Amino acid sequence: MADVVFTPNLQRHVECPRREAAGATVREVLDAVFADNPRLRGYVVDERGALRKHMSVFIDGRQISDRERLSDPVESRSEIYVMQALSGG
Amino acid sequence: MTQPTLLISTRKGLFIAEGSGKDARITRSAFIGDNVALTLADRRDGAWYAALDHGHFGVKLHRSADRGETWTEIAVPAYPPKPEGFVDKDMWGREREWATKNIWALEIAPDADGGLWCGTLPGGLFRSEDHGASWSLVEALWNHPTRVKWNGGGADHAAIHSICVDPRDPRCVVVAVSSGGVWRTRDGGASWTSHTVGMKAGYVPPEQAELPEFQDPHRVVQCPSAPEVFWCQHHMGIWRSTDDLASWQQIEVQPSSFGFVVAVHPRDPDTAWFIPAHSDQKRTPITGEIVVTRTRDGGKHFEILRDGLPQRLAYDLVLRHALSLADDGNHLAFGSSTGNLWVTDDQGEHWHTLSHHLPPIYAVRYA
């Protein structure tokens, strides 16, 4: 099970505490989380399933490379951070 | 209307003002810190809707059943997947994402109890039958052959910003697109025709100046009591149609015909208001003076209204949804990109400052 952490900035809009979720890719892990928290999906990905433009995801400290299909592999003990990129004012 | 309620959408929250003329005050707020694109007050059931653009977290819609005291997130329009192999590129050659980038129009659809129309960026029109609990794309307009030629006008993406539901027939709806022309359906969205005869674009080669899909209407309004009359603030100036969109006639106005907003009196199709800006190159008030122009004779003559408005060193721009006229035809409000907000209760003869220090104002609307 991967350990999934969401940016604190999201908590104001949708409650999404740190949790464990299973999956071999970022997509599978996030889908497992969204299955329990459907409103969270639209805040992280758009209707195509692509990561929103100003969001970023790190697996064990590395930024993912596939922002469209979220196919980057996840290890069973991986730590996944769903963060917001710095932008705006 | 003695105590109008004004919904003010800004870059950092929704503000609610109550009261008339010089007595108007901002009394409440919601979504502080969030980017509010625009609102809709549905007179049928009293519901208020607010479109939010969270940037990082996408576009959201919220609904309030208690006039803004509490809000509930509802569904947001979502585009279907782009068909495999379908070529859809913007003017910069970038692949156009079929994904909701913002909401720039929200109106009621009176032919169904919970009916709503929603205009989005990058150019999709959506329809809800259930007060926004779900949305479906109006495919006939999105699949129109010219749609792939629509491009960004006021934003990087094409935007449906004006939706006029015909008071004679709710199945008849006009939408205006920056930049993509003026379109009308008479069958609830199943088919669409273009209505830009007479309009001209100055930002394309001359032989393409009259192509419907290259017209950039900044805002289009329809007179409720004379629905054959439309007014348009276009990128190239002001146009009016008095023949139910068979044609448009251009109208020259001093000190400038450039601007983004227009309002038409609900019971007098010859009375309309504009807020001029200095050409598309500068987009500021002329010589630092904020004025409103008003015609009472269908555009033959215009008065310049300035009482109560800053007359020196003012550089406010009024964006396309930031002028509202109340149903009584007397109260108007407009807000600027620098956070100033003015109201009048006498059709613009005298203006009163409601605030000098709001966040940048995107939209105002009388509830």
What digits encode the pLDDT tens for the residues A9-47?
899 899 999 999 999 999 999 999 999 999 999 999 999
Q: Does A34 touch chain B (CB under 8 A)?
A: no
Asked if B359 contacts B10 with a C-beta cutoff of 8 angstroms, the reply is yes
What digits encode the pLDDT tens for the residues B103-113?
999 999 999 99
Rounded Cα gap, residues B247 and B112, in angstroms: 31
- Whether A59 is in a domain gets the answer yes
Which helix or strand (DSSP H or E) is residue B162 part of? strand B159-165
Give me B8's structure tokens: 């003010």
| Average pLDDT of the residues of chain B | 95
- State yes or no: pLDDT of B320 exceeds 80: yes
Q: Does A83 touch chain B (CB under 8 A)?
A: no
Nearest CA to B321 out of B91, B8, B95 is that of B8
**B chain contacts of residue A44, beta-carbon cutoff 8 Å:** 57
pLDDT, residue B202, reads 87
Q: Does A47 touch chain B (CB under 8 A)?
A: yes
Nearest to B58 among A43, A85, A88 (CB): A43
**A chain contacts of residue B100, beta-carbon cutoff 8 Å:** 46-47
Distances (CA, A) of A18 to A6, A45, A85, B48: 7, 18, 19, 34
How far B130 CA sits from the closest chain A CA (Å)?
19
**Number of domains chain A is built from:** 1
**Percent of the residues in chain B that have a pLDDT greater than 90, as a whole number:** 90
Name the residue of chain A whose CA is nearest to B101's CA. A46
What digits encode the pLDDT tens for the residues B346-360?
999 999 999 999 999
Rounded Cα gap, residues A38 and B256, in angstroms: 50
Amino acid, single-letter form, for residue B123: G
How far A74 CA sits from the closest chain B CA (Å)?
23
Asked if B38 contacts B25 with a C-beta cutoff of 8 angstroms, the reply is no
Q: What mean pLDDT do residues B234-257 have?
A: 96
Q: Does B54 touch chain A (CB under 8 A)?
A: yes
What digits encode the pLDDT tens for the residues B7-37?
999 999 999 999 999 999 999 999 999 999 9
pLDDT, residue B203, reads 85
What digits encode the pLDDT tens for the residues B172-226?
999 999 999 999 999 999 999 999 999 999 888 888 999 999 999 999 999 999 9
The ipTM assigned to this model is: 0.80
| DSSP-assigned letters across all residues of B171-221 | T-EEEEEETTEEEEESSTTS--EE--TT---SSS-GGGTT-GGG--EEEEE
- Whether A17 is in a domain gets the answer yes
- State yes or no: pLDDT of B1 exceeds 60: no
**A chain contacts of residue B58, beta-carbon cutoff 8 Å:** 42-43, 46, 52
- Whether A9 is in a domain gets the answer yes
pLDDT, residue B251, reads 97
- The whole domain housing A52 covers 2-84
In CATH, what number is assigned to the domain containing residue A51?
3.10.20.30
| Average pLDDT of the residues of chain A | 93
- State yes or no: pLDDT of A87 exceeds 70: no
Residue with tokens 């008849």: B172
Q: Does A15 touch chain B (CB under 8 A)?
A: no
The residue count of chain B comes to 367
Name the residue of chain A whose CA is nearest to B54's CA. A43
- Whether A89 is in a domain gets the answer no
How far A77 CA sits from the closest chain B CA (Å)?
27
What digits encode the pLDDT tens for the residues B49-79?
999 999 889 999 999 999 999 999 999 999 9
Q: What mean pLDDT do residues B272-278 have?
A: 95
Rounded Cα gap, residues B163 and B354, in angstroms: 28
Residue with tokens 């003012």: B314
Q: Domains plus CATH for chain B?
A: 5-366 (2.130.10.10)
Q: Is B58's CB within 8 Å of A46's CB?
A: yes
